Amino acid sequence: MSTTERLYYNDSHLTEFEARVTSVSERVSGWGAVTLDRTAFYPTGGGQPSDTGTLGTSHVVECIDDEKAGILHIIHGRLPQVGSIVKGHVDWPRRLDHMQQHTGQHILSQAFFKLFNAETRSFRMMEQYSEIDIELANASDGRINEAVELANKIIWEDRAVLVRQVTPEEAEQLPLRKDSAREGELRIIEIEDFDLSPCGGTHATRTGEVGIVAVRSWERAKGLTRIEFLAGTRVAADYRRANRTARSVAALFSVARDESVASVERLMEENKQLMRRVRVLEELAARVEAEELYGSARPQDDGTRIIARVFEERDAESLKRLAQQLASHPKTVALLGSSDKGSARLVFARSTDAAGDMNLLMREACALVGGRGGGKPDMAQGGGQNIERLSDALQAARSALAS
């Protein structure tokens, strides 16, 4: 059993206290672990991160629950003497934030249970948001908004949040939202006429202290519905970020903030139309360019024309388009390369009546440019990082065809 009296059990607003040091151990240089006979610091557990603060002049960076030794205060700084009396100070903004998130989770979880009989299976409190995984198979925006509305109704009614210690026998008679794996007496968090849950975390004393709950997003995950939510001051911070983003987007279109969505939709539609026109023009340009390259290529003895060309800053899609246009001509082989964003790109293609295995040529060419590639006998693509060998790779492919 823990040898540390947990002051936060009865008073989550307690941030300053005095305690006697019961043990000290060094971890690494400048770091140590301290146990006390009593503490207001909450240790990591139940999905909630630990408190931080100070112990004497040293900074408490984390608290760990060691059931045998008690609560370990991991500190950076001077280690106190065993038996000495030290003053602890809990970082209140962090404690308040954790109280808001954890109490908000109780309220939101019970809202889902009351409305849809959806039980919460896990809870995680992260730095900027929190998550709950619930058994809500038919999740929808409408259902989630309904639960959020009920949760905020309970918050704004400023109901009392009470702490009760009950025996296992008494717990069996209570309508607890979830079971507890702990043995012996249970610490129950009661939200007046709304929720009863066993929990060892820190909570508000009234629901109004939570302020507000908001859901940022939800998704299906591992057969459950994962909900990303915020409470209290995190909602305000998230609103400021979202509002700043929305106003910045609106400014780009010279419209009011709430008109930016319509402006973005119009821009996206215009972009789709332009991209369709660009693709048509690119096909026309590739056809014209292919005609010029085909016309300037000297036929070999068997009538085959081999067009080997290196381009600057041309992507693989553009090379492929040009190669296909060239391969539409009779007895033609296109061996095209390009330097694109610091890499060598290669596309080989041939007409159906021309000789040569483009897949085999591509593998050999890619070995020269330090990369990989492949495809079919009539068309293959690849590339590598050795741009300096790009011309050598095309020349090698051309020589292989001529041999």
Q: Where are the domains of the chain?
A: 5-90, 96-240, 278-402
DSSP string, 316-377: HHHHHHHHHHHHTSTTEEEEEEEEETTEEEEEEEE-TTS---HHHHHHHHHHHTTEEEEEET
- Give the whole-number percent of the chain exceeding pLDDT 90: 82
pLDDT tens digits along 113-158: 999 999 999 999 999 999 999 999 899 999 999 999 999 999 999 9
Q: 328: helix, coil or strand?
A: coil
Start-to-end CA span in the chain (Å): 84
Question: How many other β-carbons are positioned within 10 Å of the β-carbon of residue 50?
Answer: 21
Token pair belonging to 93: 């903004």
Q: Return the CATH number of 96-240, one of 3.90.226.10, 3.30.980.10, 3.40.50.1260, 3.40.50.300.
A: 3.30.980.10
Burial zone of 244 (CB within 10 Å; 0-12 exposed, 13-18 middle, 19+ buried): exposed
Report which residue type is found at 111: A
Task: Taking residues 376-380, report their average pLDDT.
Answer: 95
The 10 Å CB-count burial string (b at 16+, else e) for 148-157 is bebbbebbee
Maximum alpha-carbon separation in the chain:
100
Task: Taking residues 44-71, report their average pLDDT.
Answer: 92
Q: Which position has the higher pLDDT, 169 or 272?
A: 272
Average pLDDT value over all residues in the chain: 93
Confidence at residue 181, expressed as pLDDT on a 0 to 100 scale: 66
pLDDT at 266 over 80: yes
Confidence at residue 1, expressed as pLDDT on a 0 to 100 scale: 44
Closest by Cα among 232, 240, 8 to 101 = 232
Q: Return the CATH number of 5-90, one of 1.10.10.10, 2.30.130.10, 3.40.190.10, 2.40.30.130.
A: 2.40.30.130
Closest by Cα among 192, 190, 147 to 166 = 190
Q: 118: helix, coil or strand?
A: coil
Confidence at residue 2, expressed as pLDDT on a 0 to 100 scale: 55
Q: Return the CATH number of 278-402, one of 3.10.20.440, 3.10.310.40, 3.40.50.2300, 3.40.50.261.
A: 3.10.310.40
Token pair belonging to 125: 């409190």
Helix 92-116 with 233-253: angle, nearest 10 deg? 90
Task: Taking residues 98-114, report their average pLDDT.
Answer: 97
Q: What is the pTM of this model?
A: 0.75
Task: Taking residues 360-375, report their average pLDDT.
Answer: 94
Task: Taking residues 264-289, report their average pLDDT.
Answer: 92
Q: 80: helix, coil or strand?
A: coil
Task: Taking residues 273-302, report their average pLDDT.
Answer: 92
Question: How many other β-carbons are positioned within 10 Å of the β-carbon of residue 397?
Answer: 25
Least confident of 39-48, 166-175, 389-398: 166-175
Report which residue type is found at 195: D
Confidence at residue 69, expressed as pLDDT on a 0 to 100 scale: 83
pLDDT tens digits along 217-244: 999 988 999 999 999 999 999 999 999 9
Length of the chain measured in residues:
403
